[in-house]
Amino acid sequence: MTSRLSPWLTLVVMLLTLPVLAAEAQRTGTWGAYVKEQQLQLSLQPKDRPDSHHGFSAPLADFQGLSTAEGSSAPFKLVREAGTFDFEGRFKDGQGVGTWRFTPDASFTKKLGELGIPKPDADEQFLLASVNVGPQRVQALAAVGQKVITVDELVQVGIFNVTPEYVRAMAAEGYPKLTIEQLVSCRIHNVTPERIQGLAAMGFKGLPLDSLLAMSIHGVTPDFVREMRGLGFKDLSADDLVAMRIHGVTPAFVKEMRDAGYENATAEDFVSMRIHGIDSIFVRSMSKKRK
């Protein structure tokens, strides 16, 4: 089970927010920003599309000449492989505003072409600069066995932060031959080495990727497994646990229904109750009617 909708939908939304490139190579506009966890959170508004905003963030250390001190007005820039963002403006009360200009790198498309990736259009080059990916990431991923072949794949790699380190970490946990699409899906659904290790410690080692993704998507965490085992469910499969999460069979619900008289109900029984809208309130109301 791989998730195609999320990355593609994200890509479409981001591309729709980009301005249509004017005849000149550069594009300009206004910006707003604030600092959060050593990152500058930016919102760019293109001059020729004032109703459009394009947001991204970057580590403070990536900027050249940046000062967010009160009243600071020095120009600063963000240099990417795909091009350079130049900023002018002022910071006050932890927030900044001003104007920006993006200048695409003239050699960027040629370098991608040499790696077998089709030439990105102007909007795609702007987006690749925003998510900070280019030939260096393509080459680094190729070195760990991951071949990026389209601009769309490269955009997704940037948006969802598929790095060589992540590829190696997933391989070390038993998933050595994932495709770019699978790696993107894992990133989207927060499949981390730590999550894999935690589930393995609970007896779920070497899960098929589809099962691992399902558990991550539906919030089957080691803590959830531990709580359910504490309630007597010792031999639940990955599918059983996913079904319980999908239908809202929580530890609290199990305790509630046991207090209502269902001490011997199985995991399947509890899922069935949830599907059919049976809870302790329903049970009490039926008891009153019988009386």
Listed in sequence order, the DSSP H helices in the chain are 5-16, 108-114, 122-131, 135-142, 151-159, 164-172, 180-188, 193-201, 209-217, 222-230, 238-246, 251-259, 267-275, 280-290
For residue 21, give the nearest of 55, 49, 54 by alpha carbon. 49
Distance from CA of residue 262 to its chain's centroid?
A: 40
CB atoms within 10 A of CB 156: 26
Q: What is the pLDDT along the chain (291 residues), one digit of tens a residue?
A: 444 444 434 443 444 444 434 334 789 999 999 999 999 999 999 998 778 889 999 999 999 999 999 988 999 999 999 999 999 999 998 899 999 999 999 999 999 999 999 999 999 999 999 999 999 999 999 999 999 999 999 999 999 999 999 999 999 999 999 999 999 999 999 999 999 999 999 999 999 999 999 999 999 999 999 999 999 999 999 999 999 999 999 999 999 999 999 999 999 999 999 999 998 888 777 766 665
- How far is residue 286 from each of residues 48, 55, 86, 276, 277, measured CA to CA in Å? 65, 54, 69, 14, 13
CA distance 222 to 22: 52
The pLDDT tens digits of the residues spanning 79-96 come to 999 999 999 999 998 899
pLDDT of residue 288: 64
pLDDT of residue 290: 62
pLDDT of residue 289: 62
- pTM assigned to the model: 0.84
CB atoms within 10 A of CB 220: 27
